[in-house]
């Protein structure tokens, strides 16, 4: 992913509009690119700060909030990936079990 692409994903990221694939690519880029991380932090601070002002919430450490948001996104992605692997594995196991049962049935005859 280029910096230009990452920049275009900053707002969709904050609005939680990225697909899993986009989110994954975006997070990887943010990890290695300080420029884009700073870009994200600026936007995040502005938008989250404004939202907090509107809600009249307490002043929070926005940098920490962003770190938490990024971590949650990663956990979410990892969780979904894990679920997919688990799902495929369970399907394969079910098919294998079915095959074994069928072979056993056939051998009995």
Q: What contacts 52, CB < 8 A, 6 or more positions away? A: 58, 59, 60
3 binds Zn ion (CB under 5 A): yes
Q: Is 9 in the site for Zn ion (CB under 5 A)?
A: no
- Please state the closest distance from residue 35 (CB atom) to Zn ion, in A: 5
Q: Which residue in the set 12, 18, 25, 33 belongs to the binding site for Zn ion (CB under 5 A)?
A: 33
Q: How far is the CB of 98 from Zn ion (least distance, A)?
A: 49
Nearest residue (CB) to Zn ion, 18 versus 33: 33
Q: Is 94 in the site for Zn ion (CB under 5 A)?
A: no
Q: Does 42 bind Zn ion (CB under 5 A)?
A: no
Report d(CA 109, CA 96) in Å as an integer.
20
Q: For the residues of 32-93, what is the DSSP string, one character each?
A: H-HHHHHHHHHHHHHHHHHHHHHHTPPP--HHHHHHHHHHHHHHHHHHHHHHHHHHHHHHHH
The contact set with Zn ion (CB under 5 A) reads: 3, 6, 33, 36
């Amino acid at each position: 992913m280029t910096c230009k692409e990452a920049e275009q994903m900053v707002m969709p990221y904050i609005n939680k509009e990225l697909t899993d694939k986009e989110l994954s690519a975006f997070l990887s880029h943010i990890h290695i690119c300080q420029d884009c991380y700073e870009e994200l932090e600026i936007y995040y601070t502005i938008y989250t700060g404004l939202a907090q002002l509107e809600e009249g919430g307490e002043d929070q450490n926005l940098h920490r909030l962003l770190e938490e948001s990024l971590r949650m996104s990663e956990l979410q992605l990892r969780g979904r990936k894990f679920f997919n692997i688990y799902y495929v594995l369970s399907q394969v196991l079910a098919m294998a079990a079915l095959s074994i049962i069928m072979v056993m049935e056939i051998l009995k005859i």
